[in-house]
Amino acid sequence: MFHHRKRFLILALITVVLAFSTGDRATLSVAGSGMSKELQLTPVQMGWLFSSFAWAYVLAHIPAGWLVDRLGAKRTVLLGLVLWSICTALQGAAAWFGSVFASLLALRFLMGVLEAPVGPASGRVIAMWFPSSERGVAGAIFNSAQYLSLAVFTPLMGWLDHKFGWEHVFSVMGGLGLILAVVWYTWFHVPATHPSVSAEELASIRAGGALTDLNARTPAAARDPNAPGIRDLFRSRMLSGIFVAQYCITAITWFFVSWFPTYLVKDRGFSILNAGFIASVPAIAGFIGGVSTGFVTDWLLKRTGSLTMARKVPITIGLLLTASMIGCNFVDADWMVIGLMSLAFFGKGFGSLGWTVVADTAPKELIGLTGGVFNAIGNTAGITTPLVIGYILGATGSFHYALVFVGLHGLVAVMSYWLIVGRIERFSVSSRRTDGAKSSLN
């Protein structure tokens, strides 16, 4: 049976890579409490360290998407994984550096550059390996890696911090990443060159709309001169609305991977060990929401035949639930705080179908680049969110307004999908021109 399901092995690989990339960027959030105390880093400096990753991540995404379209997913992810794991490990030696803050800033920035290919590569992998009817589940499983990462790695990193010290959070995660690089190199293949994919599976996914014939490199002479370019992506109202919504969704993610453990320690009085384990509870809820939405959206697609409704309904339900985190400002019991945060993170997972939508809508010539733009704009929130929260804390000494700031992003994302995106379909320059002509006649 599994002989005809090689695509799920490929999905597992790209999902684990995303889980590690999310875990590595979250190392600072777990180690940050002890690290900032020992190295005498201020809350504003910590805010800059959290956001320095995102600055690089955003700036590198469009070049990374272009590189994925030219070189393919295997080589770009392999190189990035090896180098960002080394950068992760080096952060554990920050106390040895002359200028601690500057060195950490540089290492976090480099991590952002090197992790950038994962998103664009995943969009390409899902489009290559999965038919339209399975992309909801595939995209949801891939996207759930960020929650699985927090559920698995946050307790591990909290235990390492408590037992051995904050330095070992970085060294262990970096070492595990290098082991994963060997696994990726050995097991990942594209459909056309996979050594053991069956002819039946290849024919089945191709018939269902999988772009199995995408090549890592296309000769310049063979490229369609009328193929869309990056400016066409921004001229599409549908894609622009998807990009805006992803910014809002990612803002919620960045609260959980940056300041959430600190919120539990400083605002709620948990120890760092307890915070590590308690922070995994909302992450598990997010994982459940992230996986279940894939089955729901694919069921809706089969039931209604409408790609637009199948994607928008789960997105709307999930992102409306994210505002429940604001309720933490009005309760005192710790179990209620964890319950509200878990509901918010479940909703965030249930509403996070962005990569599925990219696989549905990106022009086939620019899947990597579209994924790069999508993730770059989304992760601009990684620049603003940690910094805004850092300044809110510096000014008020409380997370009250920070939770309001983060919680409202889900509502804006819902508005973007309903008021801007419109019909969800594969983008092409000709369809955009046709839509433009229709709108000018109306």
User: Which CATH number does the domain housing residue 310 bear?
Assistant: 1.20.1250.20
416: which 2 tokens? 């973007």
274 Cβ contact list (under 8 Å, min separation 6): 264
- Asked if residue 287 lies in contact with residue 349, where contact means CB atoms within 8 angstroms, the answer is yes
Q: Which two tokens stand for residue 297?
A: 């959206």
Phi, psi for residue 214 in degrees, rounded to 5 = -65, 130
Asked if 20 contacts 177 with a C-beta cutoff of 8 angstroms, the reply is yes
Cβ-based neighbour number of residue 241 at 10 Å: 20
Alpha helices in 221-279 (DSSP H): 230-235, 237-258, 260-262, 272-278
How do residues 71-118 score in pLDDT, each as one tens digit? 888 899 999 999 999 999 999 887 787 788 888 999 999 999 999 998
Residue 346 lies in a domain: yes
Q: What is the largest CA-CA distance in the chain?
A: 68
* Contact (Cβ atoms closer than 8 angstroms) between residue 119 and residue 19: no
In this structure, is residue 216 part of a structural domain? no
Nearest-10 crossing angle of helices 237-258, 6-39: 50
CA atoms within 13 A on the CB side of 150: 29
Residues of the chain with pLDDT under 70: 1-4, 211, 213-228, 269, 272-273, 275-276, 429-442
List the end-to-end C-alpha distance of the chain, in Å, as a whole number: 53
244 touches 441 (CB < 8 A): no
| CA atoms of 371 and 358, how far apart (whole Å) | 7
From the list 284, 7, 289, 312, the residue with the least C-alpha distance to 155 is 284
H/E run at residue 295: helix 280-304
Domain presence at residue 223: no
Tokens 């459940």 belong to 288
Please count the structural domains in the chain.
Answer: 1
Per the CB < 8 A criterion, the answer to whether 28 and 155 are in contact is no
The whole-angstrom distance between residue 309's C-alpha and the CA centroid of its chain comes to 23
Q: What helix, strand, coil percent values describe the chain, rounded to 5?
A: 85, 0, 15
Q: Would 221 be classed as within a structural domain? A: no
Residue 197 confidence (pLDDT): 78
Q: Which domain range does residue 406 map to?
A: 2-208+230-441
CA distances from 83 to 26, 78, 300 (A): 17, 9, 41
**219 domain-assigned:** no
* 225 in a structural domain: no
Q: What percent of the chain has pLDDT over 70?
A: 90
pLDDT of residue 190: 82
CA angle 152, 156, 161 (to 5 degrees): 150
Please state, as a whole number, how many other Cβ atoms lie within 10 Å of the Cβ of residue 442: 5
**Cβ-count burial 14-43 (b if 16+ within 10 Å, e if not):** bbbbbbbbbbbbbbbbbbbbbbbeeeebeb
Q: Is residue 107 included in any domain, yes or no? A: yes
Residue 218 domain-assigned (yes or no): no
